[in-house]
Amino acid sequence: MGSERQAAVTGIQEERAPGKRGRKPARESRASEIRSKLLAWRQTPELQRVSLRALAIEIGTSHQLLSFHLRRLDKWHMKEYQKREQEIRDRAFAECRSLTQDEQTRCAAYSRASLASMIDSLVPKMFRVLRKQMKHAKLRGNYLALAKLLASKGYREAQTILDLQYQRRSNLPERVSGNAKSFRGVTFTVATPLK
């Protein structure tokens, strides 16, 4: 039953007219090429890299498609690392043996890389939350700690948010020195009505 269904799906994909809309078959997809170009683009220093629009023209695709892949690049990376780690574990399980020292080291490295990719995928969401908090008020508590942590990891936007935070703090009006207004020492006289 499964092979009949697969043959039907393959037949439908082969009959697909060239001008038709819809999702391309995996063999025609350029996703892996686009991801590899985006990885190389992201690894170049920010001041030296071309714009995303220029990269789209160079590859021969749209800016929208590149943006789509760029937003999901870290999650895709995370899944790839998890898949490679699982392949190593499955191979050892199929051979009815435990992992060798080298395999354990590689699995641990893939696991760390997967975690790092997951964190990188969450960072843009964290910045949106921090910017929203900065619009409403100053950063306090956990938000301030999060901004400091991200700034210590080298994220420039977090440092910018912290600079704004400290700038707001310094823009408060200065305290006036001297005596505070008080009505304790004032005596009130009550006027008597005229007759």
pLDDT(83) > 80: yes
Residue 139 lies in a domain: no
Lowest-confidence range among 69-78, 81-90, 150-159, 177-186? 177-186
**Between 12 and 144, where is the model more confident?**
144
* 107 within 8 A of 88, measured Cβ to Cβ: yes
For residue 52, is it within any domain? Answer: yes
Structure tokens belonging to residue 103: 């395999």
Q: Which of 56-70, 91-105, 178-192 has the lowest mean pLDDT?
A: 178-192
**pLDDT band, very low/low/confident/very high, at 45 (cuts 50, 70, 90):** confident
Residue 62: inside a domain: yes
Q: Is 115 contained in some domain?
A: no
Question: Residue 158 above 80 pLDDT?
Answer: yes
Classify residue 107: in a domain, yes or no.
no
Among the listed residues 152, 65, 78, the one whose alpha carbon sits nearest the alpha carbon of residue 121: 78
For residue 39, being part of any structural domain is answered with yes
Whole-number Å distance between alpha carbons of 5 and 15: 15
What is the reported pLDDT for 186?
57
Provide the residue range defining the domain that includes 37.
28-71
Per-residue pLDDT for 29 more than 70? yes
Q: Which pair of tokens denotes residue 73?
A: 């690049």
| 96 in a structural domain | no
Quick one: pLDDT at residue 98?
92
What's the pLDDT tens digit per position in 98-124?
A: 999 999 999 999 999 998 888 888 888
pLDDT of 108 reads 94
Structure tokens at 163: 């600079």
Question: What's the pLDDT band for 53 if we cut at 50, 70, 90?
Answer: very high
Say how many domains are in the chain: 1
**Does residue 45 lie within any of the structural domains?**
yes
Q: Which residue has the higher pLDDT, 195 or 73?
A: 73
**Angle, to 10 degrees, between the axis of helix 63-71 and the axis of helix 73-94?**
50
pLDDT at 26 over 60: yes
Q: Helices 73-94 and 31-43: crossing angle, nearest 10°?
A: 110
34 or 166, which is more confident: 34
Other C-beta atoms lying within 10 Å of the C-beta of residue 155:
16
Query: Mean pLDDT across the chain, nearest whole number?
Result: 80
- Looking at residue 55, its pLDDT comes to 92
Residues in contact with 143: Cβ distance below 8 Å, sequence separation at least 6, in sequence order: 129, 130, 133
Average pLDDT over residues 42-51: 88
Q: Which of 26-35, 73-82, 141-150, 175-184 has the highest mean pLDDT?
A: 73-82
